[in-house]
Amino acid sequence: MESDMPNSLFQQYSRLVYEQCGINLHEGKKALLQARLNKRLRITGIASYKEYFHIITSGANPGEFLNFLDSISTNLTYFFREVQHFEFMNRVGLPELIEEKRKERDTRIRIWSAGCSTGEEPYSLAMCVLAGLPDNVKWDFKILATDISTRVLETANRGVYSQEKVKKVPPALRQAHFLKVGGTEGNPEFQVAPHVKRLITFYRLNLKDPYPFKGPFDFIFCRNVMIYFDKKTQEELVNKMAGFLGPGGYFCVGHSESLTGLAHKLSYVQPAIYRY
């Protein structure tokens, strides 16, 4: 493997990633990019960073360009991550939404998990909402879950997780919404039950591209995604996504993120939660 990438080539990669998906690969990310590229060079047998750049930008191998985007996106996630959002939904957001929907005789509930990674977030949202919905009404409840990475979407669609992964799911929810399936070497795995899976549509989406849906959404979760973008891109994306919220809809970002300093039409509710 190559040991170092010339700065001029790093700038070309950085510009490509920014133009294609808005992710800001600053100088501090050079070592990370090299490590991820080394893996692709080993798998493909391509000899150098320069040759790899030519292949993914020539249009000759669009599949490898998707593999490249997959390799640079970071996908740390787990069930009920940043639990404050789920507590807010249980305590305030969902009861309030249900009350409003009852007044309007509206049974439609829509949530968008943008940057859904391997599926833990949308499945957590589904379990959270199912626990709070009154069962005397037939609700039209659906979740759209999107990510730029085809690799993580395959895992999300499969909906099978290790015992370690599901530890953060409260026992009652784990019992109600997962099926224990055989794992390897005596380690059981847990599959999301069909009644939960059918609520969620997984879809590959680059947040910079036009959105092929109309909304409106009652909640948009875009958590730990904004940190990869510069301020200009953050502002563009927040306003673009907020346009898909229904009146009074909630927009949630990660707890390490904030919309401070961005021009937008959302109102602050509490840390990491905003309202349209």
- Active-site residue, 198 included: no
Q: Which residue out of 36, 151, 158, 174 is catalytically annotated?
A: 36
> Quick one: which of 70, 225, 223 has its CA closest to 148?
70
Which residues are paired to 109 by β-bridges? 141
**How many angstroms separate the Cα of 274 from the Cα of each of 31, 208, 235, 238, 260?**
35, 21, 14, 11, 11
Question: Can you tell me the distance from the alpha carbon of 22 to that of 104, in angstroms, rounded to the nearest whole number?
Answer: 39
Instruction: Report the interhelical angle of 49-58 vs 7-21 (nearest 10°).
Output: 30
- Active-site residue, 147 included: yes
Q: Which residue out of 40, 81, 110, 147 is catalytically annotated?
A: 147
**Per-residue buried b or exposed e for 21-43, using 16+ beta carbons within 10 Å of the residue's own CB:** bbbbbeeebbeebbebbeebbee
Structure tokens at 188: 């059981």
Tell me which DSSP letter residue 93 carries: I
Burial of 131 (0-12, 13-18, 19+ CB in 10 A): middle
Strand bridging mode 140-147 / 200-204: parallel
Catalytic residues: 36, 147
